[in-house]
Amino acid sequence: KKLLSIAIDGPAGAGKSTVAKQVAERLSFIYIDTGAMYRALTYKALLKGADLNDGRELEIVLNDTDIKLVITNGGQAVLLDGKDVSEEIRTSEVTNNVSFVARQQEVRTEMVKRQQLLAESGGVVMDGRDIGTHVMPNAELKIFLIASVEERARRRYEENITKGFEADFELLKSEIALRDKRDSEREVAPLRKAEDAIELDTTSMTIEEVVSSILHYAKERA
Ligand code: C5P
């Protein structure tokens, strides 16, 4: 019997990757971070000085780009043309530019194709913005994670402080709000809840509560 496919979508900072990683681990499924793929392309395009508003130019860059999501002893790593860029793709420069790259049709067509190949045999937890609506429209379980913008900024703030980075709460909040606006208002595959997705508001939930709730739905559908 084919293993389940689980789609997790939602706005920036709602906890998708933390939760998706843990759900995948508990089910021994593969975790696929599609945001990391858009980030890797953005990082490369910035390095090359490509025009981030030119879909055709980005498509040419992408066609010559190898992106691998690999498991390491410490967790996950993103390999861009063989080089580990896991940290580079999380800088604010990449974060604040990724929505421009992700709005290009040419980029999305190729990314969705690659993501569908990765998900082909099931047994996957994939997180992103358009997974339930476009990448895995037939996923057995679709989750849409939301949380207030204050809470999402607070989580990002604490994450940065814990890592020893500087953080400005108000700035983080406005950057998150702006990225959501761009992701929700773009023409191609905007961020939205699939009709058959289960919405979970994580504002006052712990990570463990979100994870066990998703595992419960997964068990129901297995
Ligand atoms: O999930 P993460 O915050 O790393 O995603 C970075 C960006 O990549 C998002 O803000 C969005 O612009 C884009 N993205 C997307 N579709 C996905 C995943 C991410 O457009 N499936």
Residue of minimum CA distance from atom 14 in ligand 1? 35
Q: How many CA atoms lie within 13 A of 151 on its CB side?
A: 13
Distance of CA 118 from the midpoint of ligand 1 (Å):
17
- pLDDT tens track for 84-123: 999 999 999 999 999 999 999 999 999 999 999 999 999 9
What Cα–Cα distance (Å) separates residue 41 from each residue in 57, 67, 106, 158? 12, 8, 13, 27
Say whether pLDDT at 1 is over 90.
Answer: no
CATH label of the domain that carries residue 187: 3.40.50.300
pLDDT at 2: 81
Q: How many folded domains does the chain comprise? A: 1
Q: Whose CA is nearest to atom 4 of ligand 1?
A: 35
Tell how strand 141-146 and strand 198-201 pair up. parallel
Distance CA 112, CA 118 (A): 10
pLDDT tens-digit profile of 168-216?
Answer: 999 999 999 999 999 999 999 999 999 999 999 999 999 999 999 999 9
Q: Which residues line ligand 1 (CB under 6 A)?
A: 12, 34-35, 38-39, 98-99, 102, 128-131, 179, 183
For residue 9, pLDDT over 80 is answered with yes
Task: Please identify, by atom number, the ligand 1 atom nearest to the C-alpha of residue 131.
Answer: 21
**In terms of Cα–Cα distance, which of 40, 175, 188 is closest to 103?**
188
**pLDDT tens-digit readout, 21-47:** 999 999 999 999 999 999 999 999 999
Q: Which one has a higher pLDDT value, 118 or 222? A: 118
CB 106 within 8 A of CB 63: no
Residue among 17, 38, 53 whose CB has most ligand 1 atoms within 8 A, to mutate: 38
Q: For residue 184, what are the domain limits?
A: 5-221
Query: What pLDDT is attached to residue 222?
Result: 85
Give me the mean pLDDT over the 65-94 stretch: 94
Ligand 1 atom closest to the CA of 36, numbered from 1: 4
Ligand 1 mean position to 1 CA, how many Å?
31
Edge-first strand listing for the sheet containing 67-72: 67-72, 75-80, 83-84
* Residue closest by Cα to atom 15 of ligand 1: 129
Q: What is the DSSP string of 48-114?
A: HT--TT-HHHHHHHHHT--EEEEEETTEEEEEETTEE-TTGGGSHHHHHHHHHHHT-HHHHHHHHHH
The rounded distance, in Å, linking the Cα atoms of 144 and 16 is: 9
Task: Please give the distance, rounded to the nearest whole angstrom, from the Cα atom of residue 34 to the centre of ligand 1.
Answer: 7
Q: Which residue has the tokens 């913008």?
A: 149
pLDDT band (50, 70, 90) for residue 163: confident
Is the dihedral angle over the CA atoms 174, 175, 178, 179 positive or is it negative? negative
